[in-house]
C-alpha cells in the first residue's frame, strides 16, 4: 500500500513539473513574439518555427500526461482489489480465531456451578465419590458440546482443543492453572437446548446429584467468555506439506 501511495505522489509531482514547463515555454515564446515585431523577417520566421516546435512538444506532453493518468487509474483499481482481498482475509482470520478460542465471545447460554458434596460418607463408602473430579468436569463439558455449546470456560479459563482438565490432589488443573471448588462452567449456546442436554435422564448431572455433588444450572441472556491467552507450543505436530 505504501508503495502505491508513493507512486501516486510521484506521478502528481511529474504533472506539476510538466505543467510548469509548458507554462514557462509559452511565456518565453510570447515574449519573443513581441520582440519579433521590431526585428527582421528572418527572426520572425525563426520564432514561428520555435512556436511550432513548442506546440508539437505540448502535444507530446499531453499524450504523456494521458498515459500517466491511465497508470494512476490502473493503480487505483489494483489498490481497490487489494483492499477487498485484505478485508476478506481479515474476516476469515477473525472467524478462525473465534473457532480456535482466541477471541472473547459473548452471547446467551448457561452457567453451571459444581461443588463438592456436604454428605459425610458412610462406613465402606468411597469418600472420593462425594468430591468433584476432573472426569466430572470433562463429562459436563462434553455434554455441553453435544448440546451445541459454541464457547466454554471453567473458572474463567477458555477451553480449546489442547486444554487439559486433570486432578492435582484435591484440586483440578485447567490450562496449567490450579483451581479448587466450586467450579463455574460457562457455555454460550441455546440456553434451552443446553439445559435439556445437561438434565437428560441418566446423564452426568443426575449421577453427580446422586452422590450429593451440588450442581446449579442457570440460564443467561448475555454471557462473556474470555479468549484463550496461554502460549501454544507444538512439540511433535507439524504443518503437513501440500
Q: How far apart (Å, rounded) are the C-alpha atoms in residues 149 and 152? A: 7
Q: What predicted TM-score, i.e. pTM, was given to this entire model?
A: 0.66
Q: Which residues contact 151 (CB under 8 A, 6 or more apart)?
A: 101, 105, 107, 158, 187, 188, 225
**Boundaries of every domain in the chain:** 2-100, 106-225
Which residues is 224 bridged to in the sheet?
A: 106
The C-alpha atoms of residue 212 and residue 178 are separated, in whole angstroms, by: 23
Ramachandran quadrant class, 175 (left: phi over 0; alpha: psi -120 to 50; beta: rest)? left
For residue 240, give the C-alpha cell: 503437513
Q: Could you read off the pLDDT tens digit of each residue along the chain, which spans 242 residues?
A: 544 544 555 555 555 555 545 554 544 444 444 444 444 556 556 657 666 766 776 677 667 767 777 777 777 667 666 777 677 777 777 777 788 888 999 999 999 999 999 888 788 778 788 899 999 999 999 999 999 999 999 999 999 988 999 998 889 999 999 999 999 999 999 999 999 999 999 999 999 999 999 999 999 999 999 999 888 777 888 878 76
CATH class of 106-225: alpha beta
pLDDT 10s digits, 167-200: 988 899 999 999 999 999 999 999 999 999 999 9
Please tell me the total number of residues recorded for the chain in this structure: 242
Name beta bridge partners: 152: 187
Angle (CA) 17-23-24 rounded to 5° is: 90
Q: Cell digits for 107?
A: 452471547
Distance of alpha carbon 153 from its chain centroid, rounded?
Answer: 21
Q: SS3 letters for the chain?
A: CHHHHHHHHHHHHHHHHHHHHHHHHHHHHHHHHHHHCCCCHHHHHHHHHHHHHHHHHHHHHHHHHHHHHHHHHHHHHHHHHHHHHHHHHHHHHHHHHHHHCCCCEEEEEEEEEEECCCCCCCCCCCHHHHCCCHHHHHHHHHHHHHCCCCEEEECCEECCCCCCEEEECCEEEECCEEECCCEEEEEECCHHHHHHHHCCCCCHHHHHHHCCCEEEEEEEEEEEECCCCCCCCCCCCCCCCC
pLDDT score, position 16: 53
From the list 160, 151, 136, the residue with the least C-alpha distance to 190 is 151
Amino acid at each position: 500500500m505504501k508503495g502505491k501511495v508513493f507512486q501516486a505522489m510521484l506521478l502528481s509531482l511529474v504533472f506539476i513539473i510538466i505543467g510548469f514547463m509548458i507554462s514557462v515555454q509559452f511565456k518565453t515564446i510570447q515574449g519573443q513574439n513581441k520582440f519579433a515585431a521590431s526585428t527582421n523577417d528572418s527572426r520572425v520566421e525563426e520564432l514561428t518555427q520555435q512556436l511550432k516546435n513548442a506546440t508539437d512538444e505540448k502535444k507530446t506532453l499531453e499524450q504523456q500526461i494521458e498515459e500517466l493518468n491511465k497508470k494512476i487509474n490502473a493503480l487505483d483499481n489494483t489498490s481497490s482489489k487489494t483492499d477487498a482481498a485484505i478485508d476478506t482475509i481479515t474476516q476469515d482470520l477473525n472467524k478462525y480465531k473465534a473457532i480456535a478460542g482466541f477471541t472473547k465471545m459473548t452471547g446467551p447460554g448457561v452457567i453451571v456451578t459444581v461443588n463438592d458434596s456436604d454428605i459425610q460418607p458412610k462406613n465402606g463408602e468411597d469418600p472420593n465419590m462425594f468430591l468433584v473430579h476432573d472426569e466430572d468436569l470433562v463429562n459436563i463439558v462434553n455434554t455441553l458440546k453435544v448440546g451445541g455449546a459454541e464457547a466454554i470456560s471453567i473458572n474463567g479459563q477458555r477451553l480449546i482443543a489442547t486444554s487439559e482438565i486433570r486432578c492435582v490432589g484435591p484440586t483440578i488443573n485447567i490450562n496449567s492453572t490450579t483451581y479448587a471448588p466450586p467450579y463455574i462452567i460457562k457455555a454460550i449456546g441455546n440456553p434451552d437446548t443446553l439445559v435439556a442436554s445437561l438434565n437428560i435422564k441418566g446423564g452426568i448431572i443426575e449421577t453427580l446429584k446422586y452422590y450429593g455433588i451440588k450442581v446449579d444450572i442457570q440460564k443467561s441472556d448475555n454471557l462473556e467468555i474470555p479468549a484463550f491467552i496461554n502460549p501454544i507450543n507444538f512439540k511433535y505436530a507439524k504443518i503437513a506439506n501440500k
